[in-house]
Structure 1
């Protein structure tokens, strides 16, 4: 984190990256001293409402974040910033995006938790767009122009006012991660339920981790005279980049039981904190994250530590487990929406556990065409996972590698209609010798 004081004293001269968060109400004009070098600017968590009309002078600026500010209009001047690749305006009050405000160079656009009721048709000119985050707005329609964004791989449209998915979504050749829960779809879903556990049974202990939708704690459960170590996820309540936490809870409950899913023990109401939570099996400490979330450079693809490598047996076990659990979820009318290595935990034996239902969405299994295409969108994500597994596989057995590469290529086909379903993928993987 930098300071305005440093900026005014000239201590940031030549800086490539600057982050300022000091309750600013006006754009610090001293930043213009950095127009020749600045590539990354983060002005999040201030009180800004506008940008200077000559902001385009930052010719080298590639990444700009202005989340948690007070903008009600997406700054039109950004459409003149030729190098901008990634733009984030999460949690503002944006109602309008001017037609000329989106530069064709954009690759990653974050507009989560604003007040947008419409997107400009000009978004169709963003041919490089790969990642579009629109959860938590007031969108009743998506412009047909988005159909022109053929590179779009990740689309978050949860927690809006959509009444259906537009047909053109199923023609996007690279779409792999889709979240659309929390809209006004007319579906008669009967959600599964989980046992209601008493908060008095739980002794909350150490913090295990925190994500966008909630915080996970280790806890002790006292029941029928026995003590069991469990995990408790306490949901925060507000809209996340994926959608509503309530939808995540419903999806996790509806997912049911599968060897690759962390076991769900029940739900709990924390009345004092006015929050709700899920009680789950405690994941053994020998499990670790297979991958790391995408970086600003990789955009939609996971990144991996140099130390991560898997044997042929481990790769095959992970591939089989993920295909099996995906088949299981789609049989229940659930698209996970976030099928990534960073949401998979594995151990040295190659056993895998899948989690994080924040982007999961229900769909009508009785609509055969809808079910077919939504499954094939997720198959694309699975294809990318196979590609990742091949990258970190240390076994060079040609027959095994070539067969897995062939399956990967089928899953990554640009035409949704020719991709295999998860049932077929499971059968092909079972035919591969360990």
Structure 2
């Protein structure tokens, strides 16, 4: 792990990080598994994922990434990284996904990439790479998706067996996926039996050849220049899309999409098989979500907002998600806007939502529930305390926590989110959120980061109980679990189901205490999300718990005294 730490610090040193996303990376701290954008193996011994996409990074790629020997996923997508691709990356024998797209990388593709025998997805599109595409890449049998689009590659596209391959936007590249066919063999001149005839035709043929070349170059060269300019312009346009408010065309305000993609309605219609009911993933108050498959094989979730009243929510999600970038937050890929349709496109999460998983059999094991609790907490810490401007999610619940292929928690649905200005502690708004997860103070319109903490506390109790619907909602659930804890009956939360044998009693009690602290009725006494995360990790939970119990006892005594005084006055 020490070698991994050194490698990550070298990566940090070679990049310019304007948003300080890697500020917490500390070379003197030898456990990088808690660092933002870093994921480790289950045994916490090796770094397996490094995801630094959409962080406005510049600088260069450090060759020392190759020292992360167990790295499976490397994503630097949508930044401003320059320089060449280090050939040392070819030594990452476990690498499954490499995404360097939408940067400003130059030079060629290292031939060492042919050694990446585990590589499944390679995305180098939208850079300034040049030269030929190494033919050795086509020998990687695991490759299922390659994208070399919008670069300056030349020559012939190697033959890949990948199901998805794209290389459009390379005017000097020909072959499959490029949009340019390669020239065939030229026809040879007929051989005449008479040497004299050949000699007599030499001058004529030479003259014709010269005239032909002049004519061809006179046409091809300007066309090539124009084509190059068009390709450059198109690449820039793809990175600078913005959308006008689709609901009020007379309003001049625009929402910037930055480098996000703008999809056509026909693309999404085709991807979802005509928004087929069989591809419906879920229906909410704002619209429907469909599973889709883009032409390049990418699996997506398409969220359709057809109600004209959904335009404000549409803009909120665009603004919020384009600002927030964290491995436990759902990444927005792009959007689609027409006069009648609004749609957001996200990566498809193969394991559904926490709500659906908690209803399935067999139930989630304890280790997975802990992973979900920690991942969703880290996402909320980022939104509340590290994102600029800070963001209140507004609808934290099991249905809005999605699970990726590794059962990592991905917080989604920013439709009710709010920016929290630095100068205020809360905002006043209409009642928002989902019944059962709404904090009591929200009913009077008081929304703060502590309302997210309350909702997270309810989620934590559901994870502890292992199900989302147990006959209780909101405060009733809190009161029930609190009573079980006071009567030392928490064991009733754990069935004898074989899948729950991984429970650790101390961890169960800690999570219950953190959940009860998070749902404290005096919202001023609730911990911040960063404190919630620390307590989940075992830091300070007992001290805070005993302090809260003392406050509860004092409040109870005060209420009794008030009642007694009232009774005396009434008797007099």
TM-score by length of 1: 0.45
**Greater fraction helix:** 2
Larger Rg: 2
